[in-house]
Amino acid sequence: MRPERSPPGAVHDLVLVGLGETHRHLLSHLRGPGETFGVTVVAPHDGRYGGATAAMLAGAVSPHRLRWSPPSATHVITSRAIGCQPTHGRLWLADGRMMRYHRLSLNTGTRRLPAWAAHERPGCPRVWSGHSTMQLIALRAALDAGTRTSIVIAGGSRSALEIAGGVAAAAGCCRVASVTLLWPGRDYSRTTRAALRRLAWIGVDVVAGATASGLAACCVQCRDGRRFRADHVICAGPAEPDSLVLAMNLPIYGPGLRVDRWLASPRAASVQITGAAASLDGRRVLPGWDGARQARVVLSALRGPARGRGVTHYASPWRPVAPDLGPGAGVVSGTCRLRAWDRWRHRQGIDPALAVAGDRDPDATRR
């Protein structure tokens, strides 16, 4: 049974911490008929950018077109959550305030920078976070205003693939001398292998088995001792939860906070965790690109008890959504039909920037 609604300013019905992909979908579908609970968002900003990262870096899409803000009726607190007490329904903020809630949803995203890149030193390359769209927008502005530069992307995630495609497409107009993608490990999925081949085709220097571990004068150093010349370093490694989330007195399971099939913490059913902060199987965090499915689970838990419906549980997707590598390479696909089209186009020497439509429809050029 849903708790009785509290007076304004006393106990918040639903508190959303973070404005990630899941909460974006949740807020878009929360204002339906019959909704009676109030929503409060806790985030360091009152809006966010999201969507076509590669197209934005390539200059094909203006950053202002990607802006998304919560609905006007949503109460937004511009602060960060630093701890919670699920037993008593309390949430502490970085500005010293304490909030009380009936239900809490955590969607704080991925840790921005690894430890080796958290502190910049004189003479070292400039470091950017590939998991922060605001920093990628600032990077694009710096490339437009700068001189000829070399860019190294510390990869290992879907974001790294999209960033590499966008930067490679912008190399001609932004005076980018070289783009290097350091990819840790050699165990790739089919989609990742196809994306790496496509990036190598459009001019990205893909270095497999290279894990960035430190910064030196004008270069990036790997664990095996190799160094790569760099003026800008973009950190887009595998998703890992924010350190503040791991200090919220909730059970930890592998790389993130433990959740069940209903994305709820086993210690507190009133707390749901999604995205890079949550770990369902103890080996990896939940994918951020699957935010729409995770939002349906959270929304079902909110509406189910009140409307007499069963609560939807989360199931891992069968296959990942193909990353968008931007206008220079198109969308990577694992289907045999499109792989055959890529091979034919490569033999014919067609410029990939002129055949983006063919990536989505192999018969587009034959009509």
pLDDT in the model for residue 164: 94
What percentage of the chain exceeds 90 in pLDDT? 26
Last residue of a domain, one of 181, 211, 235: 235
The one-character DSSP state at 110 is B
Q: Which amino acid is at 50?
A: G
135 and 179 part of one domain = yes
pLDDT in the model for residue 199: 92
* Domain membership flag for residue 222: yes
CB burial of residue 311 (10 Å; 0-12, 13-18, 19+):
middle
Ranges 30-39, 93-102, 269-278, 297-306: which has the least confidence: 30-39
137 and 229 part of one domain = yes
What HEC string does 241-296 produce?
Answer: ECCCHHHCCCCEECCEEECCCCCEECCEEEEEECHHHEECCCCCECCHHHHHHHHH
251 and 203 part of one domain = no
**Which structural domain range is residue 141 located in?**
115-235
Between CA 4 and CA 37 the distance in angstroms is 10
Residue 346 has pLDDT above 60, yes or no: no
Average pLDDT, integer, range 335-360: 44
DSSP string, 316-366: --SSPPPPB--TTT-B----HHHHHHHHHHHHHT--GGG-HHHHH-TTGGG
Phi, psi of 349 (to 5 degrees): 75, 30
pLDDT in the model for residue 340: 57
Pick the closest to residue 38 from 7, 67, 69, 70 (CA basis): 7
* Domain membership flag for residue 318: no
CB burial of residue 284 (10 Å; 0-12, 13-18, 19+):
middle
pLDDT in the model for residue 351: 38
Pick the closest to residue 356 from 54, 9, 18, 50 (CA basis): 54
What is the domain count for the chain?
3
104 and 249 part of one domain = yes
253 and 210 part of one domain = no
pLDDT digits (tens, 9 = 90+) for 132-155: 888 999 999 988 887 788 999 999
Q: Which amino acid is at 68?
A: W
pLDDT in the model for residue 316: 81
pLDDT in the model for residue 219: 93
Which residue has tokens 């390539």?
Answer: 58
* Domain membership flag for residue 4: no
120 and 205 part of one domain = yes
* Domain membership flag for residue 129: yes
Residue-averaged pLDDT of the chain = 80
214 and 271 part of one domain = no
Helix, strand and coil percent figures for the chain, each rounded to 5: 30, 25, 45
41 and 94 part of one domain = yes
122 and 215 part of one domain = yes
72 and 181 part of one domain = no
Last residue of a domain, one of 179, 204, 235: 235
Residue 350 has pLDDT above 50, yes or no: no
pLDDT digits (tens, 9 = 90+) for 7-31: 444 567 889 998 888 998 898 887 6
Q: Which residues pair with 176 in a beta bridge?
A: 149
Residue 292 has pLDDT above 80, yes or no: yes
pLDDT in the model for residue 284: 78
Winning range, highest mean pLDDT, from 55-64, 181-190, 214-223: 214-223
How would residue 60 be classed by pLDDT, with cut points 50, 70 and 90?
confident
Residue 247: C-alpha distances to residues 16, 198, 225 (Å): 17, 40, 34
Last residue of a domain, one of 204, 235, 266: 235
pLDDT digits (tens, 9 = 90+) for 71-82: 877 888 999 888
* Domain membership flag for residue 317: no
Residue 367 has pLDDT above 80, yes or no: no
Which residue has tokens 């587009």?
Answer: 364
E strand or H helix at 166, and its extent? helix 158-169
* Domain membership flag for residue 315: no
Decide: 102 and 3 in contact? Cβ < 8 Å.
Answer: yes
193 and 214 part of one domain = yes
pLDDT in the model for residue 119: 78
| CATH number of the domain to which 230 belongs | 3.50.50.60
User: Crossing angle, helix 336-348 and helix 190-201, to 10 degrees?
Assistant: 10
198 and 285 part of one domain = no
pLDDT digits (tens, 9 = 90+) for 95-134: 899 999 989 999 988 888 888 888 777 889 999 999 888 8
User: Crossing angle, helix 21-30 and helix 291-307, to 10 degrees?
Assistant: 40
pLDDT in the model for residue 300: 87
* Domain membership flag for residue 323: no
* Domain membership flag for residue 327: no
